Amino acid sequence: MNRVEGVILDWAGTAVDFGCFAPVNVFIDIFKNAGIEVTMEEARVPMGMLKIDHIRAMLSMPRLAALWEGKFGRVFNEQDVETLYAEFEPALLVSLSEYTDPIPGVIETVQEIRNQGLKIGSTTGYTQTMMDVVVPNAMKKGYCPDFYITPDGTNSLGRPYPYMIYRNMEVLKLSASWKVVKVGDTTSDIKEAINAGVWSVGVIIGSSEMGLSLAEFNALSEADQEKAIAKTEQSFLRNGADFTIQTMSELPQIIERINHLISEGKRPSAR
């Protein structure tokens, strides 16, 4: 059957935790404790990666690398990455359960596409220990995909590697990459989809890429909301997304569009 068989959703910023705030504040805090002031924007750039890879990516940013060298008199090393991560994980686990509310529209959309016979998979930048907090809390609130996997299940090869998507395909028995849609809220999600050869969809409102809480977004004027949406959309498209949606409620329409493209012999764009 030449149509979409499964949808793979990211977790924080896509399915739960509007704005993906749980990890951001902790990244800022652990760097501050080391004497390095990082901006919210810098903390968000690698979002979606396995969290130790995220720390490594932050330390590799030219401005932060220079600050680190200025403070410690040497370039950062792997021990520094591990020291920061050892502080990050317990700090995140303390607050993580507070950031497990499903994003508005997600539960209804998942039910709608399930009713059409699609499987719901998921990937994440969180570790298994973190997901042991997130999954049961999200389930109590009504969100439960058919399968989830963390980079712990793929030898720590998280995004942008495609292996978590491949594991979803294997377990959910999805027959071809071009019958799979990956939905995420970061450029890491888009790159993961591209590398796996699946259709990539960036979700804008509530995304880490936009970086606003629900209250902050609602407080913007209509014109400023449109600017924030356009800026986020451009970032996703520039990084190779096949489609963007403002909210998850638009996903069923996108799946219909993809089904139409598949029936015409189209495949995820070679980028």
pLDDT, one tens digit per residue, over 219-232 is 999 999 999 999 99
Residue 216's SS3 state is: helix
Please tell me whether 12 is known to bind a ligand.
yes
Dihedral over Cα of 191, 10, 180, 3: its sign: negative
Residue 163: what pLDDT? 98
**pLDDT value at position 142?**
98
CATH class of 22-98: mainly alpha
Strands 243-245 and 199-203: parallel
Query: What architecture (CATH level 2) is domain 6-20+100-263?
Result: 3-Layer(aba) Sandwich (3.40)
User: What is the average pLDDT score of the chain?
Assistant: 97
pLDDT-based confidence at residue 58 (cuts at 50, 70, 90) = very high
Average pLDDT over residues 201-229: 97
C-alpha to C-alpha distances, 22 to 17, 132, 136, 149, 206, nearest whole angstrom: 7, 15, 16, 19, 13
Q: What percent of the chain has pLDDT over 70?
A: 99
Integer angstrom CA distances of residue 261 from 129, 134, 236, 242, 267:
39, 35, 20, 12, 7
Q: Determine what percent of the chain is predicted with pLDDT higher than 90.
A: 99
Domain boundaries, the chain: 6-20+100-263, 22-98
Confirm or deny that 101 is annotated as ligand binding.
no
Average pLDDT for 170-187: 98
| Annotated binding residue 185 | yes
22-98 matches 6-20+100-263 in CATH topology:
no
The residues annotated as belonging to the active site are 10, 51
pTM, to two decimals: 0.95
**pLDDT band for position 270 (cuts 50, 70, 90):** low
What pLDDT does residue 269 have?
75
Q: What is the pLDDT of residues 69-123, one digit of tens each?
A: 999 999 999 999 999 999 999 999 999 999 999 999 999 999 999 999 999 999 9
